Copies of this chain bind each other. A is one copy, B any other.
């Protein structure tokens, strides 16, 4: 059961059918999860924004950096050209090079890409080096290619899976989480989907309820033993709303406001990146074109506010979903991270009258 199934209703907008990033039409997610008794707890989560050859049919995209202590690959080219040309892959910090290389392999395997000599791999990461023996760099190119291959539409597994296999969030077991929002028909009926890899700290609150304080477990609960090596949060936002890169960047920035509402603080040690891209069919950018021009029909600046609200709500809920789905895990060097104690949490939610 997900947070919403327990009566935790975040925000004022409706979710999509699956309440997942895959509510955005055409989006596929693939995951490879590795849990081994020798201390390997890591994985790969791949997000494919559409079904075509992405390199030949790029899509508008932007990245907002909430806090840049991270190793994300692909940033500067996305910012300069305003588009992405590979799927988005999430994994652990030290496996970014492997995933980048795998995305080059992936791109090369399309016959139409046979002359391509430059690929801007987009790879995000968080550091699962507490539960996972990260220095072994267990992820191989094959793992990444498998995640890309097994990507599908429909429901997405959350919690200790994919790139979230070994992550920790607010001191509890974190992981992959997802959520979505749908705008009213009169406002375009667009879908905004969010997927997070949660691995950060702060003072957890769920729909405004001070869970971290009540459980006496948060980043500052023992101030002289404050944990400094906070992880990070990777946030992927996809929407079918027709947004140009400037407005995708503004949309991406709002995801951090959603993270804020869970109690996150974008700590010094955190790599908080938001990748936002539009899957709107009319906005595809052909790699080659006979024309000097391209025509875009996009939303006006004045009509963004509901999308901003949507991404804030979906980010908040995706993070909470990651916590609800994750399970306690014993990992590398016997590190043990407990899941969010569900029963107690729901009790506290009830105490604060926040279960519908």
Contacts and interface: CB of A to CB of B under 8 A. Distances in A.
| Number of identical monomers bound together in the oligomeric complex | 4
A117 B129 contact: yes
A37 interface: no
Interface string A205-221: 10111100100001111
A70 interface: yes
Contacts of A77: 68-71, 271
Contact of A257 (B13, B81, B121, B256): B256
A293 B302 contact: no
Given A68-B80, A77-B70, A293-B299, A305 B100 contact: no
Interface in A225-242: 226, 228, 230, 242
A293 B298 contact: yes
A266 to B, nearest CB: 6
A210 B118 CA distance: 31
A106 to B, nearest CB: 13
Contacts of A291: 300
Contacts of A188: 292
Contacts of A52: none
Contacts of A289: 300, 302
Interface of A: 11-13, 65-77, 79-82, 93-94, 96-98, 100-101, 104, 108, 116-121, 127, 129, 134-135, 137, 184, 186-188, 202-203, 205, 207-210, 213, 218-221, 223-224, 226, 228, 230, 242, 244-246, 250, 253-254, 256-261, 264-269, 271, 273, 289, 291-306, 308-309, 312, 351-354
